[in-house]
Amino acid sequence: MASQEPSYWLMKSEPDAYGINDLKNEKQTLWDGIRNYQARNFMREMKVGDQVFFYHSNCKPPGIVGLMEVIETHLVDPTQFDKESKYFDSKSKKSNPKWDCPKLKYRKTYKKMLSLKEINEEFDAEELILVRKGNRLSVIPITTDIAKRILNILTNI
DNA sequence: GCCAACGTTGGC
DNA sequence: GCCAACGTTGGC
């Protein structure tokens, strides 16, 4: 089989909860705790080698701060069975888990973030779901063209 | 299946 | 704190 081009994604996290520096220290992480079906379904489409922008949300300023890479896919999210976790799901059965997620590795932190303000200046809602006001998706697919434009901006800052 | 009420996200 | 934009829930 010919090697596949990587797909691009954007994943949001609040830096107070889990930020790019946490990932840099850990080197890799299981992206658990996602409880939104559309976001989960996007995660199920991920392939090893896919590139993922790390977006800091609910902070000042919000924006893309780094890059990650998918290293494993379709892993059971353990927090759904953990009664102590805020992500515990009593409806999920071990024989048929509802929630799964990928494992991601740290690739880089950009010298300067690409802020939401700059993203809004560069892209419009048709191009990038992210800029839709009130968007609640924490996992967002990014077309290759847009990803390349984002990378181009980030590497030319 | 419809839809109103409610809850959450997250920028501002 | 406000509120837009959803997703979820539950009565019918």
Tokens of A87: 């992500």
pTM of this prediction?
0.91
* Cβ A37 to strand C below 7 Å: yes
Distance in angstroms: CA A134, C1' C3: 9
- Does residue A46 contact residue A6 with C-beta atoms inside 8 Å? no
What CATH number has the domain bearing residue A24? 3.10.590.10
Q: Please give the tally of structural domains in chain A.
A: 1
pLDDT score of A6? 92
Q: Which of A64, A66, A48, A157 is nearest to A108 (CA)?
A: A66
Residue range(s) defining the domain that contains residue A21? 8-155
Strand-pair partners of A53: A10, A67
In a domain, A19, yes or no: yes
| CA pair distance A74, A56, nearest whole angstrom | 24
Q: Which residue type is seen at A57?
A: S
Measure CA to C1' and name the residue nearest C8. Answer: A36
User: pLDDT, tens digit, for every residue of A5-38?
Assistant: 899 999 999 999 999 999 999 999 999 999 999 8
Work out whether the CA dihedral A68, A76, A57, A131 comes out positive or negative: positive
In a domain, residue A81? The reply is yes
pLDDT tens for each residue of A89-143: 888 888 888 999 999 999 999 999 999 989 988 887 666 666 566 677 899 899 8
Does A56 map to a domain? Answer: yes
Over 60: is that where the pLDDT of A2 sits? no
